[in-house]
Amino acid sequence: MHGSRPELAIDFSGGTEWLIDAQGCRVDRLTDPACIRAICDDVLASLKLNVVADPLLHRFGGPGGVTAMYLLAESHLTCHTYPEVGFATFNLYCCRQRPRWNWEDALRQHLGAAEVRVRMIDRNVDAITPAESSNFARRSGASSR
């Protein structure tokens, strides 16, 4: 062990998370579960991600949108749509490095998005300082060993 961080038996960095916002989307696409599923299926196939349970998709009534959740061996993919304002959000977290997917072109094509913003966050194990790790261990009742 080095400090309060245990030696990892595997090569694990913490992974990458993408937060995607699409604005100016077509309302008919934001209320269509098949359209949302097609986008998610494209992401999964392109990045070779592994679904470990049946995906959950829910279409809210009236003018409501769609929520989709995929449980992955690599973590998760979610989508929430807001047709009342032409907005969709996606969140993809992969615990292993993956190439960046072309969200901009895909969401313009599938949703008619006028603007797509993609933020990428490295979820780095080394980003947590030993002091933060010790504080978490104390708060959670866990040992720092």
In the prediction, which pLDDT does 21 show?
A: 98
Give me the catalytic one of 75, 79, 94, 110: 75
For the record, the structure tokens of 3 come out as 């400090």
Tokens in use for 68? 């989709």
| 75 catalytic per annotation | yes
**12-67 per-position pLDDT tens digit:** 668 899 999 999 999 999 999 999 999 999 999 999 999 999 999 999 999 999 99
Tokens in use for 78? 């979610």
Residue 122 confidence class, pLDDT cut points 50, 70, 90 = confident
Confidence of residue 131 (pLDDT cuts 50, 70, 90): low
Out of 13, 35, 76, 95, pick the active-site residue: 95
Give bridge partners of residue 54 from the DSSP assignment.
none
The whole-model pTM stands at 0.79
pLDDT band at 130 (very low <50, low <70, confident <90, very high): low
Active site residue 95: yes
Mean pLDDT of 122-145: 58
- Residue 2 in this model has a pLDDT that exceeds 50: no
133 included as an active-site residue = no
The vertex-109 CA angle with 114 and 62, nearest 5°, equals: 75
Catalytic residue from among 4, 13, 76, 80? 80
